[in-house]
Structure 1
Amino acid sequence: MLDCRNALSQEKLEAYITGLMHCIRREAPVREQFSDAEIVEILHYAADLFMEKPILLEFDLPPDGLVVLGDLHGNIYSLLRSFERHGLPPKTNYLLLGDYVDRGQHQLELILLLILMKLRWPNNMIMLRGNHECIGFMSDDYFHVVTHGEFFVKVCQNELASTLNMYFLFNQMFDVMPVAAVISGHFLCCHGGVSQWMTCLENIRNIPRPTYARRMKFLEGCLLADILWADPEPDTERAFAVSQRGCGYTFNRQGLAAVLEALHLTTLIRGHEMYANGTALNFGDESCVTVHTAPTTLFNCSKLIS
C-alpha cells in the first residue's frame, strides 16, 4: 500500500473539506472537485492512519464526553444535523458505528467527508466498520434480494471515472478499519453485536488485517461476522441462534450477559437496526443499546448547509 504519511497537510485537508462542502451545497458531483488521483491519495492515507491503531480500540471516555452515531447509509444531512446539534471536532468527540455507504443519495460525499475529518482530527473522530463496508455487497445475488436504494459499488461506477477500480480501493480501506472499541473498561461498541466466540478481548485483538478470508482462521471469520452482523433477539430461548440475515448469529439476554461477563464489561452499544426514535434498549435495560442515526426516509434538509 502506498505510504502517503506526509502527503496531506492540515491546510490541504481543510481545503478538501471546504471543496467537498461546496459540492454538497450545490448538489454537484464529487468528480467536479476531486480528481481520481486526489481520491486515491485520501484513501491510501486514511488506510495508513487506520493501520496505526489496533483493530480493537481501547480508551477512556473523554472528559468532555463522546457523541455516538449509528447507521448513516449515505444520508449526509443526518450527519450535518448531528454536527449542528452537537458541535464539530475538536470541541466535540464522535464515535461512529459504521454503515456509512449503500442506500442513500450522498454515499460518496458522506464517506469522503468522514475520512477527511478523521484525517484532520484523528483523535476526535473514531470510525468503526459496519457490515456494509464490505465488498460482498457488490454481489448480483444481493442486489436482487435488497432493492431499496443504490449500492456503493454502483455509486462508484456512476460517479467516478475509475469505475469499479475505485470501489476496490475504498474496500481496501474498509478492510483495515477497526471493528470494535472498548471504552473505560465498561462499554463494548461495534456495529452488530457479541459472539459466542468472544471468550476474551484477545479474540478480537487477534483478528488479522486486512480482513481477507484467506488470512483468517475459521473462528476469527465467525467472530468478525458477528461483530458486524449480529442482532439482539429478546424473544428467543437460545443464547445464540443462526440469524435470518444469512450471516452471523442472534443473541438473547442470557447470551449477551455471558459474553459481557467473560469480557469484564457491562454494556453493548451497537447500530445495525433502525428504530423510529433513533435509539432502543433492546432488553429493557442498559445492557444493550442500539443507535441508528439516518431516518427511514431520505428527506431534504438542504437548509442545514445553506
Structure 2
Amino acid sequence: LCRMVAKIFEAEHRMLRISSPVFILGDLHGNFPDICCFERIFWGMGVHLSPARMLLLGDYVDRGSYGVELVAYLFAQKVRNPQKIFLIRGNHELRDIQKNFTFHGECMKKFGNEQGLSLWQEINKAFDCMPLAAVIDDKIFCCHGGIPAPWLCPHIDFIDKIPCPLPKPDEESSLAWDLLWNDPVREDKIEEDLEEELHENEGFALNRRRGTAHVFDTGALNRFLTNNKLSYLVRAHEVQQAGAQIHMNGKMVTVFSSSFYNGGNNDAACVLVFEKKLRIFRVDTSEFHKIRE
C-alpha cells in the first residue's frame, strides 16, 4: 500500500490544482475516531460517490494513538480514489519529528522492532513524495504551515520545482521547510525587536516559538495573495479551541480537525470551499470517542 500510494504522490505536482467543491481538513494526529466521524457526515456513501473532493493538510501522525490506522485508511482511500482525495505533507511527516514524538514508537509497539521499523520506513518513503501545497479554483492557497518567504518563493509556480522525493527538506529545500513550519505572527505579541525584524524582511521574521522557519504578518500575506492573484490562505499547524479560526482581516483560516487534542477539550472542524467561498463546519465527534472508550 505504501509503495502504491508513493507512486501516485510522486506523479502529482508539488502544488496541486483542485476544483471545488472541496472539504479541507487540518491536523488529525492519529485521531482515527475523528476521521470516522468526518466520513459518516461528509462522505458516508464513500469518497467515490461524494460530490466534493477532500484535501487534507498534513500532520496525520504523532500524539494520537492511531497513527498507523489513520495512515492506512488515508493511503487506501488515495489509491482507490486518486482524483477525489488529496493529501499534502505536514511537519510531522518527518522522521526526526516522529522519533521525538510518538509515531516511531507506535510502529515498534504495534508490530515489533523488526516489522515496526520496516513499516515506519515504508510509510515515511511515501511521506517523502507527498505534495506540499494546493490551490483551489485558482484563488485559495492551502498548505500545512504558512506562506513562504518571498526570497524563497517569488511566485507560487516555484513550489513545483521542489524535488521529489524529499527525505530531508531541512537540507534540500528551504521553500518546502517554510511551507511545513511557518506560522502567522501573533499580532498581540509583537515586541519592538520583532516589529523591526518584520519591517526589515518584508513582513517575515524568525519563528522563535518553533525554533525554525518564519512567522509572517498581515502585510506579507496580503502581498503574497496579490502577487499570485489569490484571495485566501487556508492552513493548519496550530490547534484551535473551536476547530477553526479566521485571522488577518478575514484572509486566512486556520483549521484543526483533531478533537480532544493531546488531552484537551477542543473541537474539530473542516472548511468547505464552494463557488470561491469558504464555509467552516464545527463537528461534534463526542459520540465516536464514546464508542472508542
CA RMSD in angstroms comes to 2.2
Between the aligned partners of 1:128 and 1:304, the Cα distance in structure 2 is: 29
TM-score, normalising length from structure 1?
0.76
Does structure 1 conserve the Cα–Cα contact (< 8 Å) formed by 2:10 and 2:165? no
> What secondary structure is seen at the aligned counterpart in 2 of 1:58?
strand
Is it true that 1:158 corresponds to 2:109 in the alignment?
Answer: yes
Output the CA distance in 2 between the equivalents of 1:233 and 1:294. Answer: 23
What is the CA distance between 1:171 and its match in structure 2? 0.9
TM-superposed CA distance for 1:165, in Å, is 2.7
Q: Is the CA contact 2:92–2:98 (under 8 Å) kept in the aligned structure 1?
A: no
* Counterparts of 2:122 and 2:212, CA distance in 1: 24
Partners of 1:204 and 1:132 in 2: CA distance? 20
8 Å contact from structure 1 (residues 81, 304) kept in 2: no
CA contact (8 A) 1:80 1:304 kept: no
Give the aligned residue type for 1:86: F
Asked if residue 255 in structure 1 is aligned to residue 207 in structure 2, the reply is: no
Gaps of 5+ in 1: 1-41, 144-149
Question: Alignment partner for residue 224 of structure 1, among 171, 176, 182?
Answer: 176
Aligned 8 A contact 2:65 2:106 in 1: no
Q: Which residue of 2 aligns with 1:301?
A: 288
Aligned equivalent of 1:206 = 161
Could you list the per-position Cα deviations for residues 115-157 of structure 1 after superposition, in whole angstroms to 9, with x for gaps in the alignment? 0011111111111111100112144xxx3xxxxxx51111111
Instruction: For 2:104, give the aligned amino acid.
Output: V
TM-score, normalised with respect to structure 2:
0.79
**AA in 1 matched with 2:63:** R
Q: Pairwise mapping of residues 241-252 of structure 1 onto structure 2 (< 5 A)?
A: 241-243=205-207, 244-252=209-217
SS at 1:90's partner residue? helix
Q: In the TM superposition, what is the alpha-carbon distance from 1:245 to its structure 2 partner?
A: 0.4
* Worse overlay, 164-173 or 245-254: 164-173
The one of 66, 86, 97 equivalent to 2:42 is 86
Secondary structure of the residue aligned to 2:93 is coil
Letter in 2 for 1:185: D
Q: Is the 8 A contact 2:62 2:98 kept in 1?
A: no
1:193 to 141, 146, 165: 146
Contact 2:170 2:177 in 1 (8 A): no
Partner of 2:134: 181
Give the direction of change, closer, same or farther, for the CA distance of 1:138–1:59 in structure 2 (3 Å limit): closer
Correspondence for 2:232 among 243, 264, 267: 267
Q: Which residue of structure 1 aligns with residue 124 of structure 2? A: 171
- 2:6 matches 1:47: yes
Number of the residue aligned with 2:84: 124
Higher strand share: 2
Give 4+ residue runs of structure 1 displaced > 4 Å after superposition: 302-305
CA shift, 1:283, in A, is: 1.5
Name the CA distance, whole Å, in 2 between partners of 1:292 and 1:302. 17
Identity across matched positions, percent = 31
Count of residues in correspondence between the two structures: 249
Distance 2:133 2:230 in 1: 13
SS of 1:131 mapped into structure 2: coil
- Change in 2 beyond 3 A, CA 1:117/1:217: closer
